[in-house]
Amino acid sequence: MRITEYRTFWDTPTLQAAERALSRATARHKILAHNLANVNTPNFVRLDLPEGEAPPSRLAQRAQQAGVLPLRTTDPRHVALPRTAQVRQPTPAPQPMPMRTDGNTIDPEYEMAQLAENELRYAMLARIANSQIQGLRNAIREGRTP
């Protein structure tokens, strides 16, 4: 019998989902901080990550788990993964809502509220990942305390 796929002990679906969600929360935090930094920039358009982006395909998940970099073709003779199979990074989308006479669409109070919400989401996700890791650690030690 030949082993075609390796799976590590800590490679659980919950940890994988938490990792993806933590990456998204980190990216969103950077974008929201960027918005706040440009609150006085004329004609600046607010950016945010779109809600409900489709999760990556199974092929892309396997490539990401194996530590494979996203494939790019640099020559017409190269073979690439289908577009749906490639790992996608979250991309910010403009959120135009003209509010001020200078054309800037940032509301500082709204951005601060979004930052606070994102921080809470990140903390919750980190707690979920930590509880999964603690459960695995407990199973490894067979329930004994150190």
- One domain for residues 46 and 100: yes
Alpha helix (H) residue ranges in the chain: 13-37, 58-65, 108-140
- One domain for residues 38 and 66: no
Q: Report CA torsion sign: 25, 83, 70, 63.
A: positive
Model pLDDT, residue 54: 44
Number of domains in the chain: 2
Model pLDDT, residue 119: 96
- One domain for residues 82 and 112: no
Model pLDDT, residue 55: 46
Model pLDDT, residue 37: 94
- One domain for residues 34 and 82: no
- One domain for residues 47 and 58: no
Distance CA 145, CA 122 (A): 29
- One domain for residues 102 and 49: yes
Model pLDDT, residue 8: 62
- One domain for residues 117 and 145: yes
5: helix, strand or coil: coil
Model pLDDT, residue 87: 47
Residue after which a domain boundary falls, among 44, 65, 89: 89
- One domain for residues 78 and 109: no
Model pLDDT, residue 135: 85
Model pLDDT, residue 3: 54
Domain range for 40 is 1-53+96-146
The pTM of this model reads 0.63
Cβ neighbour number for residue 125 with a 10 Å cutoff: 19
Per-residue pLDDT of the chain (146 residues; tens, 9 = 90+): 555 555 565 677 888 888 889 999 999 999 999 999 999 999 888 888 877 654 444 555 566 566 555 556 666 666 665 554 444 566 777 766 666 788 888 888 999 999 999 999 999 999 999 998 888 888 888 777 66
**Phi then psi dihedrals of residue 45, to 5 deg:** -105, 130
- One domain for residues 48 and 60: no
- One domain for residues 61 and 19: no
